[in-house]
Amino acid sequence: MTRLAVGVDIGGTKVAAAVVTDDGTVVARATSPTPTQELGSGAVEDALVGVITELGAAHSVEAVGIGAAGLVADGRVLYCPHLPLRGEPVAQRVSQRVGLPVVLDNDANAAALGEARFGAAREAAVAVCVNLGTGIGGAVLAQGHLLRGANSLAGEFGHMTISPDGLPCECGRRGCWEQYASGRALERLVPGQRGAEITAAAGSGDVAAVSGLAEVGRWLGLGLANLVAAYDPDLIVVGGGVSDADVLLLDPARAALAQQLFASAWRPPVPVVRAVLGVDAGVVGAAALALGLG
């Protein structure tokens, strides 16, 4: 019998939700705008309850999984620069209001789990997953399970320092990887256009757009070389909006990875592939967590 869960992805601009089966199929969707900082945590909870209630009314779901950017542990978002959540017990409060079990996790963890169960990382022994959106989300999968760290805070690759005196970051430090290899970095390199427009222009041969993506790809490859040195993965999965640029981003990244990786001549090459679940990775992975498939 097919089991159903609601998976929710709290993004910077919208709260995306879907009813997902236990084989990773999306059967219904709902969205709501992400409340702004000024509206506070209550507004975020109201938005979550709204989409979950809408989907739950039409489908027999057994649980809810929610992915949110930032540091997430024990059902709380401890810190996220883009959301008005600072330690509130979101999972518990939403669970009480919708009458279903609710699990809350980091959005990149959810996306990586989606790829592990239903996507690009199904066969990997150790997979490093990076999500290039506005910033960089990350996760490591070992034998299909998330490597969470002692405090459930592992995988914040976007804030690895890659240039100590480099560009300022929202986290208050300088030279974080996500300032160089993300959608924000791409928009800085190719001013006046949004990331999706830059990718479209690059596809039509626009020189500035191609060059911007190649620059982001080089920084991506440099960071990946560090991650390969640390984790020895057999697969790297790149997701998020910027990965839509495909080879225009990934080929420069692959070249930089090969060039920068410690002892690369004496180790097997690590494939760098695109995530296959696309924009659904977050909701599908969150639902998988809710169904106990983590």
Which chain residues interact with Zn ion by CB under 5 A?
159, 169, 171, 176
Min CB(10)–Zn ion separation in Å = 20
Residue 177 Cβ vs Zn ion, minimum distance, rounded to whole Å: 8
Residue with tokens 């900082």: 37
CA-based nearest residue to 34, from 75, 73, 78, 82: 82
Rounded distance between C-alpha atoms, residue 26 and residue 178, angstroms: 30
CA distance 89 to 69: 15
Query: Closest approach of Cβ 176 to Zn ion, in Å?
Result: 3
CB 216 within 8 A of CB 185: yes
Smallest separation, CB 182 to Zn ion (Å): 11
* Burial tier of 92 (Cβ tally within 10 Å: 0-12, 13-18, 19+): middle
Q: Report the residue number, 65 or 135, with the smaller CB distance to Zn ion.
A: 135
Report how far residue 237's alpha carbon sits from residue 80's, in angstroms, rounded to the nearest whole number: 24
In the chain, count of helices (H) and strands (E)?
8, 12
- 29 vs 188, beta carbon nearer Zn ion: 188
- Closest by CA position to 290, among listed 121, 112, 110: 110
Shortest CB 131 distance to Zn ion, Å: 15
Neighbours of 16 (CB within 10 A): 22
Choice between 159 and 218, CB closer to Zn ion = 159
Residue 101's nearest CA partner among 56, 43, 34, 159 is 56
- Encoding tokens for residue 165? 């005196």
Q: Please, what is the minimum distance in Å from the beta carbon of residue 173 to Zn ion?
A: 5
Closest to Zn ion by CB, 107 or 280 = 107
What is the signed CA dihedral for 75, 80, 86, 90, rounded to 10 degrees?
-30
Q: Considering the complex, what minimum distance in angstroms separates the CB of residue 218 from Zn ion?
A: 19
Region of 287 (left: φ > 0; alpha: ψ -120 to 50; beta: rest) is alpha
Whose Cβ is closer to Zn ion: residue 43's or residue 171's? 171
To 10 degrees, what angle do helices 195-203 and 247-260 make?
A: 90
* Residue among 81 and 292 whose Cβ is closer to Zn ion: 81
Residue (171 or 279) nearer to Zn ion, CB: 171
Q: How far is the CB of 71 from Zn ion (least distance, A)?
A: 12
71 vs 126 by CB, closer to Zn ion: 71
